[in-house]
Amino acid sequence: MIDFWASCAGLSTKALQLLPPEAAHHMGMQILAMNPTRFFRPGALDHLDASLRVQVSGLGSLPHPIGLAAGFDKNGIAIKGLAGLGFSHIEIGAVTPRAQPGNLQPRLFRYRSDRSLINRMGFNNDGAAKISSRIAAQFWSNDICPLGVNIGKNKDTPAEKALDDFLQVHAVFRDLARFFVINLSSPNTPGLRKLATPEFMAEIARSFGPEIKKMWIKFDPDMDRNSFQKLVEEAGNGGWAGMVLTNSQRVEAPESGGLSGRPLFDRSNQFLDWAWEVHRGKIPMIGVGGIFSGRDVLEKITRGANAVQIYTAFAYRGPWVVANLLQELAVELPRRGFSSLAEARGSQFA
């Protein structure tokens, strides 16, 4: 039976890839919104080895490290269907206080030859009030699968008012989400990345007070080592929950926007290395960028990540990507001489 559904999923993925990227994504999300996974999913997801379990600050004990990155389900329409596919945690958004349409289409581009995507979506979303009402209506359980909200500012919000936008979105989702991610790293909102300074991070931490323990921060992979490491120091000083490393990489060709997928793997790994040099394992990290195999997952973990998130691999490998990655990870872990992911974390720096 699993083989049958796997074949169906594979055919569906190939069919969707014949459509323009954004149309394919929209259709896939509509299917997932119907929560088809309540009827079927790989049985292997229900019998995971304890060696794959991870502890992540603010998220708790997770059955495995693979979560869904922000940008895939921007509006929280398919979280139950996505949880059924096996993700250990899900990050929706980016969510802004007010709804906004994003940039003009086309704004999402596939490059199969190097398994990458370029997007310039522009924080298109339904706005905090509508999305939070949608989540509340689904009676979501964070104990089953922790939900995170990626927080962005509206495009027309001036930089000096960005913090107000962050506070508004958090207030709306405070009782619905388990964790939050401040987005200072999207390449598609003009001026946003300029806010990634130690001074602004300190201001955010002061404004959120005790809630900063639930707040992660997502950085871009285009800054230099020195600038980034100053931000890592501030993340530790300010009591942030952790860091998400990294967002997409800014490119101008063959299209302008943010590059994600396999070409980002080495660069995002470098940022895990640079962060570890500063905090030596004291600040939790979620590794994102270019993950396509169980070996890639383990590479992020050995570089200090507590968990990982995927996006582009989902688009290319299809709906059973989590089950497949976990099978590969279960083989790779003992092959590398580890008895558990907890033992593997940060081992590259031992």
**DSSP secondary structure letters along 148-159:** EEEE---TTS-G
Give bridge partners of residue 93 from the DSSP assignment.
150
34: which residues sit within 8 A by CB, 6+ positions away? 81
Q: Closest Cα to residue 167, out of 100, 242, 241, 97? A: 97
Neighbouring CB atoms inside 10 A of 60's CB total 14
Confidence check: pLDDT of 26 > 80? yes
Banded model confidence at residue 17, pLDDT cuts 50, 70, 90: confident
Q: What is the mean pLDDT of residues 38-48?
A: 72
pLDDT tens figures, 246-291: 999 999 999 999 999 999 999 999 999 999 999 999 999 999 999 9
Domain holding 42, by residue range, is 2-349
User: Is 57 in the active site?
Assistant: no
Q: What is the mean pLDDT of residues 310-335?
A: 96
Confidence check: pLDDT of 2 > 50? no
CATH number of residue 160's parent domain: 3.20.20.70
pLDDT value of residue 277: 98
Q: Closest Cα to residue 294, out of 250, 338, 237? A: 338
Average pLDDT, the chain: 94
pLDDT tens figures, 164-219: 999 999 999 999 999 999 999 999 999 999 999 999 999 999 999 999 999 999 99
Q: Report the percentage of the chain scoring pLDDT > 90.
A: 90
pLDDT value of residue 42: 65
How many domains does the chain divide into?
Answer: 1
Q: Report the percentage of the chain scoring pLDDT > 70.
A: 94
Contact 80, 101 (CB under 8 A): no
pLDDT value of residue 14: 67
Q: Closest Cα to residue 301, out of 313, 289, 287? A: 287
Q: Which residue has the tokens 């569906």?
A: 12
Which of 186, 248, 260, 268 is labelled catalytic? Answer: 186
pLDDT value of residue 16: 72
Confidence check: pLDDT of 15 > 90? no
pLDDT value of residue 259: 98
pLDDT value of residue 45: 79
Q: Which residue has the tokens 């660069």?
A: 267
pLDDT tens figures, 110-146: 999 999 999 999 999 999 999 999 999 999 999 999 9
pLDDT value of residue 18: 77
SS3 string, 174-229, reads CCCCCEEEEECCCCCCCCCHHHCCHHHHHHHHHHHHHHHHHEEEEECCCCCHHHHH
pLDDT value of residue 5: 45
Neighbouring CB atoms inside 10 A of 20's CB total 13
* Residue count of the chain: 350
